[in-house]
Every structure is written in C-alpha cells, then in structure tokens.
Chains A and B, each alone.
Chain A
Amino acid sequence: MFDSPSSQPPSQPSLNRPGPEQLEELRSRLGDPRKVATGRAAREHHSHDFSYHPPHLPDAVVYPESTADVQAVLEWAARHRVAVVPFGVGSSLEGHTVPLAGGISLDMTRMDAILEVRPEDFLVRVQPGITRSRLNQRLAREGLFFPVDPGADATIGGMIANNASGTSAVRYGAMKHQVLGLEVVLAGGRILRTGGRAVKSSAGYNLTALFVGSEGTLGVVTEAILRIYPLPEFVLAARASFPSVEASARVAVALIRAGVPVARVELVDAATIRAVNGYKGTSYPERPTLFLEFAGTEAAVREEVALARELAALEDAVDFTFETDPAAREKLWEARHQAALAIAAAAPGRRMMATDVCVPLSQLPASIRFARQVAEEHGLEAAVLGHVGDGNYHVTFMVDPENPAEVARAEAVNRRIVEDALARGGTCTGEHGVGMGKIRYLVAEHGEEGVRWMRSLKAMLDPLGILNPGKVVAPAGQA
C-alpha cells in the first residue's frame, strides 16, 4: 500500500547552490551583512527540526527584518534558482525545516512585531516571528489571549505554516480557525494579501486557508491577522486516573457527547506518567490519566465539573482531584506539559518520532488500543498522550537516528498506526503536518486525484520549485 521509506532527499536538478558571489549580491541587496550568516554554527542550527529526521545544512541563513527583505530574498532566489526554507524556532516534528536542497534557511524570528491590537474587534495583527508566549504576554494586559498552544513555544508563522493546534483546539479549533487574513510573499517576490478583518466572509475562494498548513511550500507569510479571545473568568483544572487507556478515552468522548464545553481534555498513559515521575521526582499514580480543564463563569464550571465527575465514576476513575489556584493548576498539569520532555530526557542522545493521527471520535478508543498493541508487538517503549477531545493522539518513541534497524522498526509501527487510522476515516496527521515524514501517506489519504491537484497548485504558485522543496507534495514519482 505504501512505498518503503526513503531518507534520501528528493533530487532537484533544476535548483542551484548559491556561490560566494551570489551570497555577496544578496548581502548587498539586503543592505546589511548581518542579515546573511554562513558560519557553521548558524547553519547547523538551521539544519534540522525537533524530530529524528536527518539534518541537512543550508548554504546560508538569512534573517529578514521586513517584508521588503523577504521580497528581495525570494526575487533573488528565483533569479538564481536557489531553494528557500522558512524557519521559526525549529520545533516542528516532521522535518519541515530541513533544507533538503541546501540554499537559504529563512529565519523569520527578527520579524516579531505585534503590529496592532484591537481589543474591541478581538483581532491582532502580527509579524510571523513572534512566539505564542510573547503574544499572550502582551494580550494578557487587555484580558485577552490567543488560544492555539502547540507544546513548543512556536512562532506564529510556524504555527500558520503547519496549521498547528494543541490542547485547547477542542474548544477553540486549530490555527486555520483563527487566521482571518495574511500577507504572503510569493515565490518570485510578489506580495499577495488575503482575507481581512471581518470574522467571516463569503467573497470568493478562500486563499487564506490555502496558505494555512502549506508548510512554506507556497509562499512566505510576512503578516497575519488573528482572532483573539477574552481570558475566562474562572478556570478549574482536574485530573483523574483510570483502569485502562480505553476507559479514559471513553470518558473523553462521553464528555463531548454530553455537550460539556471542556477547555482541555488530555490523555496520558501509564508509561508516560512513569517517565514524568522518573524525570520530575513526582509520585503520580502510574495509571492512564485524564487531564481536564474547565473555563467560563464559576457557576457553569462547577456544574460541568460535577457532570464530569459522574461520567468519570462510571468508568471507575480514582483520585479525581482539582485546583483553581493558578500555581496549583500548573502543578496539576505538569505531568501533561512535561510529558514529551520527560520522554525525551529518558532517552539521551535519541530523537523524537511522534505519530499524530486523528480519527473520528467514535473510533478513538479502538484506535488507541490498536496503536498500543502494535507498539508492544514490535517491542517498542512507546508513550501515548493525546488531545483526545478531538480524536487526535500521539504515540511517541525515542529513536537512535544512527541505528537504521531501530528507525525502520519505529517507522513500521508508525505506518501501521497510520494505515489503521486511515481505514477508520482518519488522517495521517492531526497537527504536526506532512513535512518530509508523512509525504508517503498523502496519496492513500487523498487519492491520486487529490494529490495531483495539490501538485498543480504548488506548480502554479512556485513554478521553479524553490520553496521548501521536497516537503508536503514531492514531485510525481518520488513520493
């Protein structure tokens, strides 16, 4: 059903590596030599992301400081046929920022301004390099916040590129639900503005949505208009552990079915709790655990919590605990927030491979059961954690990238989990994106016809194939 995995970068015969004179030309175009770095440390830092995918050095790292700079880079790159890979903080998980064809790693983090805050419109206009935590720090002053929270402190641009979500997507939706408008620099350097300040619009094709989740393959986002929300008046966090992963998944589904507008509902399995206990010296019960958060008015929240307790009791939950004090809430959520790092810390020198399939809610318990079974069959230490409120969960393995047999084994498990999810009507990636890791599943998910149209769109917007080559849709015959 799927081609065997290939770690070879797809060949791009039409692309060039920039020589010293061309980089010198770029430096003078940008007017400041500090915007172009060719030192080893900078290039190495931009050669990989947070995942196990093999690194690849760019020829130079460019730090644009304005839309005009991005334009200059893309115009230059088109003229010389040099690849350009946009880069945020490098926390992606499917090799999105690995510059497979060398060329330019376009580090957007100096474009980190908050251009406009409109509390009365619940809008904010930002540059792509700002991170979500800094944005929220600023918005807190107005009693507002931006809800999308992938585990990492990602940049907004990176989150747009990957259509990120995270723990609060169950309530607020993913990135694509928050982006109202974009300024995008296209492959030849032309500027496209999409959407606007209205919360909804029926005017023509939705070009904004085309760029959200395009992973830097269609254009470079240089500005975004985002929806923001009032901070809830009252927040309550809760934690309960269950006899099995399936039981906790059933409770998550039951909560949604009961119409509880839960703010967060996260599942962490026993193996992960064990890793957190080992990592943080804590003593949480090493059982499958649901982490919940309720937010709204105090009266409503109290009612929701009472209902949640009843539903949890039906599945034999034990030690249902909850907290309202912010510091205590944070402590209670620690095991969830630290899970990925605990897993990473338990395996020094290894890199992370995290599946992130998403299935229809009714299929979630069975999907998780299947995933655990497959991992056990292959003798893999796997941690399951997930945003179970929207059917999206992770099975995380730490692999030694230098050990091909181990990587192959983990990839085999990954493939079976994806095949099963697709058979259940799900998707190969709920939030991490395709990058180079999920390319091989696109045809299975969307069909030949679907992927052909994706390639056509890519070819129309980026005819020379200079934008993040080898990602999302590899040229026909290479996926």
Chain B
Amino acid sequence: MQHQIPVEQLGPAGPAMAAAVDACVHCGFCLSACPTYLVLGEEMDSPRGRIYLMKEALEGHLPLAGSVSEHVDRCLGCLACVSACPSGVQYGQLLTPFRALREEQAPRPWIQRRLRQALLATLTHPRRFRRAVALATAARPLLAAWLEGRARPGKQAEGEAPAAPGGEPGEPDGGRPASPGGVGLARRLAALLALTPPRVPPPDPLPPVIPARGPRRARVALLAGCVQQVLAPEINRATAQVLAANGVEVVVPAAQGCCGALAMHAGELERARRLAAVNLRAFPADVDAVVVNAAGCGSAMKEYGHLFAGHPEEEAARRLAARVRDVAEFLDELGPREPGPLPAARRVAYHDACHLAHGQGIRTAPRRLLAAIPNLELVELDEPDLCCGSAGTYNLEHPEVARALQERKVASIRRSGAAAVATGNIGCLVQLRQGLERAGLPVPVVHTVQLLAEAYQALPAAL
C-alpha cells in the first residue's frame, strides 16, 4: 500500500512499520483467517482494515485515539493473518509498536490505565498473582453476586463500548459512545474472576538442576514463567520430566522473571524491556537452548531483538532470542526417545496456540510428538489454528469477542469427539478449560508435555 508515513519520526520501529504497510497489496486473503473479522464481520476489524487505519493514523489523517484505537484494540494479536498473507506482511511488527505509540501519545483514561498497570504488575509476578488469586477465591461468592448485577451485558458500564462493527473512523462523534476501547471495570473483574481457578495449587518450585536420565544428550535452561507456574505448576514439572527422560539436563536459573510478553502485546514496551532485561542477565550462555513451554512467552522471547532495537542490550537480546526453543520444537529437533503407551486408548485433539502456530510456525512438531505415543489417537479440530479468544489479557478486555471464539472452539471440540485436548500455551489451556466447563463437556485440557510425561512414565526406567 502506498503511504507517506513519516518513518524517521517513529524511532527504531519505524522502518519495520512502514515495510508492513508497504507490503500489503490489499488482496483480502487475511480476512477469512482473522478471528475478529469472523465474529464481527467488519472490514475495519480485519487485518487489512487495521493496516489501512494504522497507516492513516501514522500519516496524521486520523487521530490515534478514538475509533482507530478501538479497532486496533480489538485485534487479538493472534497473527493468523501473517500465516495467511501471500505477500509476507509482518503485521506483528506494525501492531506492537503502533500500540506502544498509542499508549504513549493518546493515553487511555486514568482509571483504565491504572487498572491495566495493576493487572500487568500482578500477572507478571508469581507471588503477587498467587496472592491475588487466593484473595479472589476467598471473596468469590460475594464478588460474584455484586458483579453479576453490575456487569449484565445490557447495562452499559462507565467508559464502555459495545463490540460494534460499522464504526466511523475519523468521526468519533458518529452516534456511538466515544470511548477508546475496553470494557468497564466491573465486567473486566467479572471476566477475571471467571477465569481464576476455584483454588490455587500449592507452589511446586523445580530444583535448580534436573539431571538427564541416561547419557546426556543436551543441556538446556528452562523458563519457569509467571502466570503458568501459579495456575499450573505441573506443566513445568512435566516439562522437566520429559526433557530428563530424553537425556536432557535442565537448569532453572533462579534469577529469571516474567518474559514480558503480556506487557509487550499490551503496548507497554518500557515495562516489557524492564522485565526482559532481567532474563538477559539470568539465562546462561553455555546451554544448547532456552526451552519455553508457553507459546506466548516463546514467541515474545524470539522477538527480543526487535524489542531492544536501538537499545544498548540489543546484541545480548538477539543472542538470547536465537537460543529460544519451544519445548515441542526442541524435542522434535533432538529426536525424541520412544515413549511408552497410555494406560488406555485415548482420542486427543490438538489445538494450535496462536503464538506457536502463527507466531513461531510450529505446527507439525507437537503433532508428531503426540502421534508417536502408543494408544493415543490424534484428531484434528475443524479450525485447529483459529484463536480460542484467550490472547493474553484480551479475554479480560474484550469478553464478548473472547467468549464468541471460546464457544466456537468448544463446539468444534465437541464435534471432534475427543476425550482430551492438548495445547501448548497456558492462556489457551485456561480459556478452553473454562469454555468446556461452561458447556458441561467433561473433556480435560492439558499441555502437550503432560501427555508426553504420562507416556514416558509408562516406561520401566521412568523418573
């Protein structure tokens, strides 16, 4: 697309943003891949429409706030459009800096900003998050009743915009509530509450070193993560078991922290860099890989180079990014040892986490790993790589769209007849679990490595 974007005024991200706009030939292949377009049916809620709006805003023809931001806010950042795009438009490299620019130049209302920051500050620190969940759990019955009254869909809470297609970019007075994105406090809290588990599992920290079983084939460092280690510590445990069973020594650096993905995708690049800088120092250089078992984190860490473009840490960031591997990717490349059988035949559906399939291009590795497990029948969902609506904090900020996608995914799981769903990201896992529970479908959702751990445990030399 032709443009007059003032590239030099946009800092280090400028050229990549302009290149993304340049490369778009407006062909429309992205439309049918885009989840928000599928749900809302509105051009301006499609990648093609958003690229156009972002171009107009960057050129100064449309204000950054107002409806441009609403449409851009509604993007899940799932990157399905990048997979679908025949012209190779790097949409993510336009979206992330655009969101950052928007936060900087057209700040949200004070209350929204505080809430976002509080949320990010909580989610990215396991201890704070654990406390918050415990608190929410204790207060649940009371809060739920109160929120139920506040958050009825018909009731327009303060600063609340319906997920409205047919918007009037550039004409914020076009007869709709002029509110830059997001939903009211009450509904956001209600969504958050609905996602928190009824009780938090006890912490299960891994030892700093988990030795390889049998001859050592590799040595890796593991990202312990933030949200995941609170909600599902068993995933890290399973990852360590599977790696060890494959002759991999695992080190878990104590000094590591949150990878910064949530902040990055919310456009809070400063916070993201602050968090990532900790990891630049924490992860050792003398490992074969830095293994990550959450797709969103892996995807963000592979982009550390972009995050630090023009900063003194850029070189260190690129070096770490080059070592990052998703656990499925790593095992598949290593050549996994033969797993044992599941105790009984099980039909398992695999759901592509967006940041694994679209963000990192990893589709076949997890399927190959699962299909190699005796007694496991792998089935495909109708739309295996359509976003489930989780997308970081998206399900808290746009619960309607998130819910529509969740229900669509649950319906396809139901049709597949699967007895379990495997996926590679904690966000998807929680979102699918909640959706299935809500639909009364008793299908467990697990991380791919949990099934692998079960299979390796069946071997006589198990951990």
> Which residues of A are in contact with B by a Cβ distance under 8 Å?
33-42, 44-45, 50, 61, 63, 89-91, 107, 109-110, 112, 131, 133-134, 137-138, 141, 152-153, 337-338, 341, 344-345, 348-349
Contact = CB atoms under 8 A, between A and B. Distances in A.
Contacts of A44: 52
B29 A152 contact: yes
Interface string B145-176: 00000000000000000001111111100110
Nearest to A334: B86
A341 B171 contact: no
A89 B34 CA distance: 14
Contacts, number: 91
Contact of B168 (A38, A152, A348): A38
B377 interface: no
Nearest first, the 6 A-B pairs at minimum CB distance are: A39-B168, A110-B41, A34-B166, A89-B28, A41-B169, A37-B166
Contacts of B67: 39
B352 interface: no
B326 to A, nearest CB: 20
B32 A39 contact: no
B31 A341 contact: no
A349 to B, nearest CB: 5
A89 B28 CA distance: 6
Contacts of A37: 166-168
Interface of B: 2, 22-23, 25-29, 31-32, 41-44, 49, 52-53, 56, 62, 67, 86-87, 164-171, 174-175, 382-383
Interface centre among A40, A44, A107, A337 (most CB of B within 10 A): A40
Nearest to B68: A41
Contact of A133 (B32, B87, B170, B382): B32
Given A38-B171, A63-B166, A338-B86, 18 more contacts: A38-B174, A41-B49, A41-B52, A41-B62, A42-B167, A45-B52, A61-B166, A89-B28, A90-B28, A91-B28, A112-B41, A131-B32, A134-B32, A153-B28, A337-B86, A341-B87, A344-B87, A348-B2
A85 to B, nearest CB: 15
B25 A63 contact: no
Nearest to A49: B26
Contact of B31 (A50, A89, A141, A338): A89
A50 B27 contact: yes
Nearest to B61: A40
Contact of A34 (B43, B52, B56, B165): B165
22 contacts: A33-B175, A34-B165, A35-B166, A36-B166, A37-B168, A39-B67, A39-B167, A39-B171, A40-B170, A40-B171, A41-B170, A42-B168, A89-B28, A90-B28, A131-B32, A137-B383, A152-B28, A153-B27, A153-B29, A153-B32, A345-B87, A348-B2
B382 A141 contact: yes
A37 B27 CA distance: 22
Contacts of A349: 2
A230 to B, nearest CB: 19
Contacts of A341: 25, 27, 86-87
A145 to B, nearest CB: 15
B166 A41 contact: no
A130 B382 CA distance: 16
A391 B28 CA distance: 28
Contacts of A337: 86
B29 A50 contact: no
A255 to B, nearest CB: 28
Interface centre among B2, B27, B87 (most CB of A within 10 A): B27
B42 A348 contact: no
B169 A39 contact: yes
Contacts of A134: 32
A371 B44 CA distance: 40
B27 A345 contact: no
A63 B165 contact: yes
A40 B62 CA distance: 10
B144 to A, nearest CB: 31
A110 B26 CA distance: 19
B43 A45 contact: yes
A109 B169 contact: no
Contacts of B28: 89-91, 152-153
A288 to B, nearest CB: 23
B76 to A, nearest CB: 18
A316 to B, nearest CB: 32
Contacts of B26: 50, 90
A131 B171 contact: no
A43 B42 CA distance: 12
A133 B38 CA distance: 13
Nearest to B169: A41
B170 A345 contact: no
A21 B406 CA distance: 40
A138 B382 contact: yes
Interface centre among B29, B164, B166 (most CB of A within 10 A): B166
A153 B42 CA distance: 17
Nearest to B42: A63
Contacts of B171: 38-40
A105 B345 CA distance: 54
Contacts of B174: 38-39
Contacts of B167: 37, 39, 42
Contacts of B383: 137
Nearest to A133: B32
Nearest to A44: B52
Contact of A91 (B27, B43, B164): B27
A152 B84 CA distance: 12
Contacts of B86: 337-338, 341
A349 B4 CA distance: 11
A205 to B, nearest CB: 35
Contact of A42 (B29, B87, B169): B169
Contacts of A137: 382-383
B25 to A, nearest CB: 5
Contacts of B168: 37-39, 42
A39 to B, nearest CB: 3
A107 B43 CA distance: 10
Nearest to A350: B2
A92 B175 CA distance: 33
B106 to A, nearest CB: 17
B360 to A, nearest CB: 17
A105 to B, nearest CB: 11
B55 to A, nearest CB: 10
A33 B166 contact: yes
Contacts of A107: 43
B422 to A, nearest CB: 20
A355 to B, nearest CB: 19
A177 to B, nearest CB: 24
A117 to B, nearest CB: 12
A89 B32 CA distance: 10
A334 B165 CA distance: 35
Nearest to B86: A341
A64 to B, nearest CB: 11
A41 B22 CA distance: 18
Contacts of A39: 67, 167-171, 174
Nearest to B31: A89
Given A63-B166, A152-B28, A345 B53 contact: no
Contacts of B31: 89, 109, 131, 153
Contacts of B32: 131, 133-134, 153
A61 B49 CA distance: 14
Nearest to A134: B32
Contacts of A40: 169-171
A153 B167 CA distance: 25
A345 B167 CA distance: 31
A152 B27 contact: yes
Contacts of B23: 345
Contacts of B62: 41
A275 B81 CA distance: 24
A74 to B, nearest CB: 19
